[in-house]
């Protein structure tokens, strides 16, 4: 693993679900000779694609966890991260993008830029990941790469430029024309492994020349030499174009577009060439860490193996041999026997076994240098942890982790399942920060929380399959919140005299809503003249803060409240921290109910892609679910309807949508915001809460 850094590529393959990214990865592994046979995603041979290593993924034909794998192409070492396509697993995609240097955006030549591609593209922008595009499925009926390039420009705002044109389309798709070298490429052999270069068919020559002009024109923006060569009307060397396209791609100002059909084994090798030519190597990208000793000042990391180690654990997997931790090394070299410190908890560890992953097979290695991805065995950590050499106190930027929006009670069927369930939960929560679990104090139920129905469903399934934990689930519950809508005063005296030393405390002040504030709770002390002695102020804050966990209205967490105390009283003997905490709890209850509390519910951004003839029906479905339709985009045969719908109304939506559209529509859903629940619904929620309390008692 001590190769030249310029010859290393850490790439991700991101796309909309069903665009064929797992098939593409499979072909990449085949042509780079990492595997010796090709299996399909939903393979008839029962083996399944190599990257979909989890049994469940094979069955559903979707990729859940990003498996990292390593391969070589033209002297280059390529680490490929296969990323999940469903929004419910977005944290996986985001985490993968964090450690990648470049990405291949796979698009379906029929479906084009779909909602998930837009989400993934936003994420790429956020992490500034340069990308190239691959238009897959050119053999499918209705394939139209030109339309997809247009969508890349219009919908995603990419400066997309075709590097190839297809040789026929749909069932006759034979290969591609390489516009750089002006050659037609045909893919022959049983599995398309032989690339044969032929002259461009005469009937396509004019189009190829025109497209090449467009390509050179777009590339010339990034190279003065190229512009000069154009002006001087000299023959343009291929290297000059490659260099210009690379510059544009690295700056995220140009997106070279390739095309093919992974399933039909066409166009994959030129894409691999492009990965080595246009996507960045680790030293092209500037990575920073935060210095915890100096108020988190960003520190630029050097991809130099001689420097102290900085590495990020970006994914955990529990395999048969213990916990496997995927890491990306940003600085230094992680070798067997080296000592590393987990910045989060300061725990020192000696590196034991180091491996390089190839989907679910692995090979042992001695060291992982800066810029590389590898995996460690036997390290206790959570995903997102930073490992450094002793003496350093750096952390990689913490990743944005959204709050869960849905919860579910789970009950193990027997004792054995109970033990296995805890093991499974322990692992899942470490692997995925958006998946959380706790035991409800009142009902003693185990509650799991996550980002959507499917997110939780998959984990329940995995518990059954991987841990033989038979669990039953309760009804999904939405994570409601409470807040207040107006200012209210309180003046509460806590007095208790039941023998022994008494308790006395009085607090006065007001509560008010925190409009448009990112913080949930603000406490201000405006007490003057020592009405409440200073030593009791922290107890007051604690008393109020504790009340935020469970609102007096419906016992949902309270958010968006500013508490101001401005008066009070104490007693020389009977006042204590406890007395003030109790007084604050009473004061909060008193003020809260006067402050017109309301319930807020999570609202999801739902994007439905449907054939245009079902647009009306889809809008009707969303409307029935208290959805507010933001817009409808007419795209010819397909339409995209975007709406904001309460999560509580979205249970079972996929089944209903399928039956209303003959299975032709699909939707994605992600958390958007919290919004006040209408009065009628709020009454229903109150009834449900009361019923639940009664049954728990």
Partner 1 sequence: MKSGGAVCCLARPVGQILSYPYRTLKMLKQDLILRNPLRQLGFETEDILPEGGFGAVLAHAGVGKTALLVQLALNAMLRNRNVLHVSLSDPVHKVTLWYRELFDHLADRYEATQVNRLWESILPHRFVMTFRVESFSVPKLEERLSDLSEQGIFSPEILIIDGLHCDATHEGDLTALKALAGRNRMRLWFTVHTHRHESPGKDGFSAGFSPVAGLFDLVLELQPEHADIHIRLLRGSSGHAAADLLLDPSTMLIKDRV
| Binding to partner 1 in span 353-382, by CB under 8 A | none
Nearer to partner 1, 470 or 635 (CB): 635
The only residue of 247, 487, 542, 571 in contact with partner 1, by rule CB under 8 A: 487
* 518 is a site residue for partner 1 (CB under 8 A): no
- Give the C-alpha separation, 545 to 346, whole Å: 29
Shortest Å distance, C-beta 639 to partner 1: 10
Shortest Å distance, C-beta 405 to partner 1: 18
Shortest Å distance, C-beta 145 to partner 1: 18
Shortest Å distance, C-beta 535 to partner 1: 32
Nearer to partner 1, 160 or 456 (CB): 160
- Give the C-alpha separation, 545 to 524, whole Å: 12
Q: Name 677's Cβ contacts closer than 8 Å, sequence gap at least 6.
A: 480, 598, 599, 600, 601, 646, 685
| Binding to partner 1 in span 139-158, by CB under 8 A | 154-155
Nearer to partner 1, 132 or 514 (CB): 514
Nearer to partner 1, 433 or 560 (CB): 560
| Inter-axis angle of helices 238-250 and 224-231, nearest 10 | 140
Of the candidates 333, 326, 332, 334, the residue with the CA atom closest to the CA atom of residue 352: 334
Shortest Å distance, C-beta 224 to partner 1: 29
Answer yes or no: are the C-beta atoms of 557 and 545 closer than 8 Å: no
Sequential DSSP letters for 578-604: HHHHHHHHHHHHHHHHHT-EEEEEEEE
| Binding to partner 1 in span 285-344, by CB under 8 A | none
| Binding to partner 1 in span 616-675, by CB under 8 A | 616, 619-620, 623, 628-636, 640, 642, 675
Nearer to partner 1, 575 or 615 (CB): 615
- Give the C-alpha separation, 130 to 147, whole Å: 22
Nearer to partner 1, 168 or 644 (CB): 644
How many other CB atoms sit within 10 Å of the CB of residue 515? 8
Q: Where are the alpha helices (DSSP H) in 279-349?
A: none
Nearer to partner 1, 87 or 583 (CB): 87
Q: Name 560's Cβ contacts closer than 8 Å, sequence gap at least 6.
A: 483, 484, 513, 514, 515, 517, 520
Shortest Å distance, C-beta 661 to partner 1: 15
CA 271 from chain centre, in angstroms, equals 25
Answer yes or no: are the C-beta atoms of 81 and 9 closer than 8 Å: no
* 345 is a site residue for partner 1 (CB under 8 A): no
- Give the C-alpha separation, 452 to 458, whole Å: 10
Shortest Å distance, C-beta 190 to partner 1: 42
* 515 is a site residue for partner 1 (CB under 8 A): yes
Query: Could you tell me how many residues of this chain bind partner 1 (CB under 8 A)?
Result: 24
The only residue of 361, 398, 486, 662 in contact with partner 1, by rule CB under 8 A: 486
The β-bridge partners of 610 are: 639
Assign 431 to helix, strand or coil: helix
The only residue of 50, 429, 615, 661 in contact with partner 1, by rule CB under 8 A: 615
Answer yes or no: are the C-beta atoms of 614 and 665 closer than 8 Å: yes
What Rg value do the Cα atoms of the chain yield, rounded? 29
Which stretches of the chain bind partner 1, using CB under 8 A? 154-155, 486-487, 512, 515-516, 615-616, 619-620, 623, 628-636, 640, 642, 675
């Amino acid at each position: 693993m001590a190769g030249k850094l310029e010859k290393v590529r850490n790439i991700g393959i991101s796309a909309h679900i069903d665009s064929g990214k797992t098939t593409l990865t499979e072909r990449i592994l085949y042509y780079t000779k990492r595997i010796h046979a090709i299996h399909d995603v939903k393979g008839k041979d029962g083996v399944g694609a190599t990257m979909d290593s989890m049994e469940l993924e094979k069955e559903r034909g979707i990729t859940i966890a990003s498996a990292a794998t390593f391969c070589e192409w033209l002297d280059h070492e390529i680490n490929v991260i296969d990323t999940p396509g469903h929004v419910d697993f977005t944290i996986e995609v985001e985490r993968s993008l964090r450690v990648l240097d470049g990405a291949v955006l796979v698009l379906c030549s029929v479906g084009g830029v779909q909602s998930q591609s837009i989400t993934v593209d936003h994420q790429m922008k956020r992490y500034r990941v340069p990308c190239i595009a691959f238009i897959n499925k050119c053999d499918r009926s209705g394939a139209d790469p030109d339309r997809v390039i247009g969508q890349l420009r219009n919908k995603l705002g990419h400066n997309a430029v075709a590097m190839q044109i297809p040789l026929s389309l749909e069932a006759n798709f034979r290969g591609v024309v390489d516009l750089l070298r002006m050659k037609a490429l045909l893919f022959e052999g049983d599995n398309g492994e032989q690339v044969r270069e032929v002259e461009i068919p005469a009937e396509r020559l004019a189009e190829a020349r025109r497209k090449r002009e467009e390509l050179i024109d777009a590339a010339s923006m990034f190279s003065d030499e190229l512009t000069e060569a154009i002006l001087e009307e000299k023959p343009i060397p291929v290297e000059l174009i490659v260099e210009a396209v690379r510059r544009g791609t690295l700056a995220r100002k140009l997106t070279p577009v390739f095309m093919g059909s992974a399933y039909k084994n066409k166009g994959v090798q030129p894409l691999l060439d492009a990965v080595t030519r246009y996507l960045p190597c680790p030293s092209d990208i500037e990575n920073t860490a935060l210095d915890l000793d100096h108020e988190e000042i960003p520190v630029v990391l050097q991809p130099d193996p001689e420097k102290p180690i900085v590495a990020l654990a970006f994914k955990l997997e529990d395999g048969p041999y213990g916990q496997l931790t995927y890491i990306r090394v940003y600085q230094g070299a992680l070798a067997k026997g080296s000592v590393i410190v987990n910045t989060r908890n300061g725990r020192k560890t000696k590196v034991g076994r180091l491996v390089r992953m190839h989907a679910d097979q692995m090979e042992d290695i001695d060291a992982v240098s800066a810029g590389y991805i590898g995996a460690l065995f036997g390290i206790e950590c959570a995903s997102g942890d930073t490992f450094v050499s002793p003496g350093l106190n750096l952390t990689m930027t913490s990743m944005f982790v959204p709050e869960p929006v849905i919860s579910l009670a789970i009950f193990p069927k027997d004792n054995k399942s109970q033990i296995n369930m805890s093991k499974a939960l322990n692992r899942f929560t470490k692997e995925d920060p958006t998946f959380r679990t706790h035991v409800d104090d009142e009902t003693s139920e185990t509650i799991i929380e996550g980002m959507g129905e499917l997110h939780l469903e998959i984990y329940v399934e995995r518990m059954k399959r991987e841990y033989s934990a038979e669990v039953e689930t309760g009804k999904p519950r939405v994570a409601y919140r409470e807040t207040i809508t107006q200012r209210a005063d309180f003046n509460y005296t806590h007095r208790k005299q039941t023998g022994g030393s008494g308790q006395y405390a009085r607090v006065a002040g007001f509560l008010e809503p925190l409009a448009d504030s990112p913080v949930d709770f603000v406490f201000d002390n405006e007490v003057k003249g020592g009405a409440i002695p200073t030593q009791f102020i922290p107890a007051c804050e604690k008393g109020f803060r504790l009340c935020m966990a469970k609102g007096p209205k419906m016992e949902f967490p309270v958010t968006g409240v500013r508490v101001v105390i401005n008066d009070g009283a104490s007693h020389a003997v009977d006042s204590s921290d406890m007395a003030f905490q109790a007084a604050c709890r009473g004061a909060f209850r008193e003020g809260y109910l006067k402050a017109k509390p309301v319930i807020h519910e999570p609202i999801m951004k739902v994007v439905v892609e449907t054939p245009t003839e079902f647009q009306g029906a889809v809008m009707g479905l969303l409307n029935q679910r208290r959805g507010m339709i933001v817009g409808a985009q007419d795209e010819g045969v397909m339409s995209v309807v975007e709406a904001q719908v309460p999560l509580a109304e979205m249970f079972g939506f996929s089944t209903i949508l399928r039956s209303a559209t003959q299975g032709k529509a699909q939707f994605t859903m992600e958390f958007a915001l919290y919004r006040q629940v209408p009065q009628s619904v709020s009454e229903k929620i109150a009834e449900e809460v009361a019923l639940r309390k009664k049954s728990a008692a």
